[in-house]
Amino acid sequence: MNQKHNFDKLGQYLERKIIGQKNLINRLLIALLADGHMLVEGAPGLAKTRAIQMLGQGIEGDFHRVQFTPDLLPADITGTEVFHPNDSTFQFQKGPLFHNLILADEINRAPAKVQSALLEAMAERQITVAGTTWPLPDPFLVMATQNPIEQEGTYHLPEAQLDRFLMHVVVDYPTPEEERLILLLGRKEAREDVNCEKPVEQPVVSPDDVRNARREVLDVYMADNVEDYLLQLVLATRNPERYGNSLTGRIAYGASPRATLALDRCARAHAWLAGRDFVSPEDVQAVAYDVLRHRILLTFEAEADGMTSTHVIDELLALVAVP
């Protein structure tokens, strides 16, 4: 595990800069290692923007934030051709997606065309404008955020397109002890800004380090019985009646094969970050909620009873036999 030391240093750097969101930091690193994208949901002020901004400072890559609004156009994020009258030619002006780390802030405030343009770029890692294809940088990670407390003026993300996100992570408030540490960190950074003495920290991970770490993650061993367990969890979302009556009539649509691939990559990355060269059932369980949360569609009856996809995953983990 040649790259493990570098990612340990990156994780320690992020934990110094972001207090009270260890799970979010871990999921960001998993997304980076699994070469996927994240949808993050939480109330304002919970360090969602700060997390990916600090990640951008911790790796040799560039970060860009896009505030999604109802008047945004697809060309505003992908780029467009600009006419130059001096030589009567069109030249492509790259949009904000041509950065390594993208924060798509409040993605559900943008109309469907903009959402589709972003999701297409996420899936294909390229943008086509006027017949010319432009590859996006590598690594390329999009963290999209949703605000759960305001629904006016928002455009609901289609369930079929949510499947393109590797994980759907829910962030919560910090503990009282963590909030006190946040207060101290905020005071310290405010003094550094006023005194113009904020230290410039060097990145600890390069793009080559990320690519090498991804190869190491793919080499993490997964035993046949653990692979069977992973598959059974996904298949149980499609045929829940085989596992008892508690979930019968609760799931309208189960997880797709893309969920199987995501669960595999995320479980391997989780094990690698924990310093192991093999995947255990606990690694699969640890990432199951974030991988499956947005891929399970409930029936109207289940929603009327107050069930959520989290409740369904609780039941699945209790019903599917652990090797």
CATH number of domain containing 289: 1.10.8.80
Are residues 230 and 191 both part of a single domain? Answer: no
pLDDT-based confidence at residue 60 (cuts at 50, 70, 90): confident
Residues whose CB is less than 8 angstroms from the CB of residue 256 and which lie 6 or more positions away in sequence, other chains included: 163, 295
d(CA 77, CA 127): 10
Tell which wins on pLDDT, 3 or 81: 3
Average pLDDT over residues 206-218: 93
Tell which wins on pLDDT, 167 or 111: 167
Q: What is the pLDDT of residue 198?
A: 67
What total number of domains does the chain contain?
2
Are residues 165 and 239 both part of a single domain? Answer: no
Per mean pLDDT, which of 29-38, 48-57, 81-90, 103-112 is the most reliable? 29-38
The pTM assigned to this predicted structure is: 0.91
Among 179, 195, 211, identify where a domain stops. 195
Q: What is the pLDDT of residue 259?
A: 94
d(CA 135, CA 82): 19
Average pLDDT over residues 188-210: 79
Enclosing domain of residue 177: 4-195
| pLDDT higher than threshold 80 for residue 181 | yes
Share of the chain above pLDDT 90, in %: 43
Partnered with residue 169 across adjacent β-strands are 40
| pLDDT higher than threshold 60 for residue 184 | yes
Beta carbons within 10 angstroms of residue 92's beta carbon? 15
Are residues 190 and 224 both part of a single domain? Answer: no
* Mean pLDDT, rounded, of the chain: 88
pLDDT-based confidence at residue 213 (cuts at 50, 70, 90): very high
Are residues 14 and 116 both part of a single domain? Answer: yes
pLDDT-based confidence at residue 261 (cuts at 50, 70, 90): very high
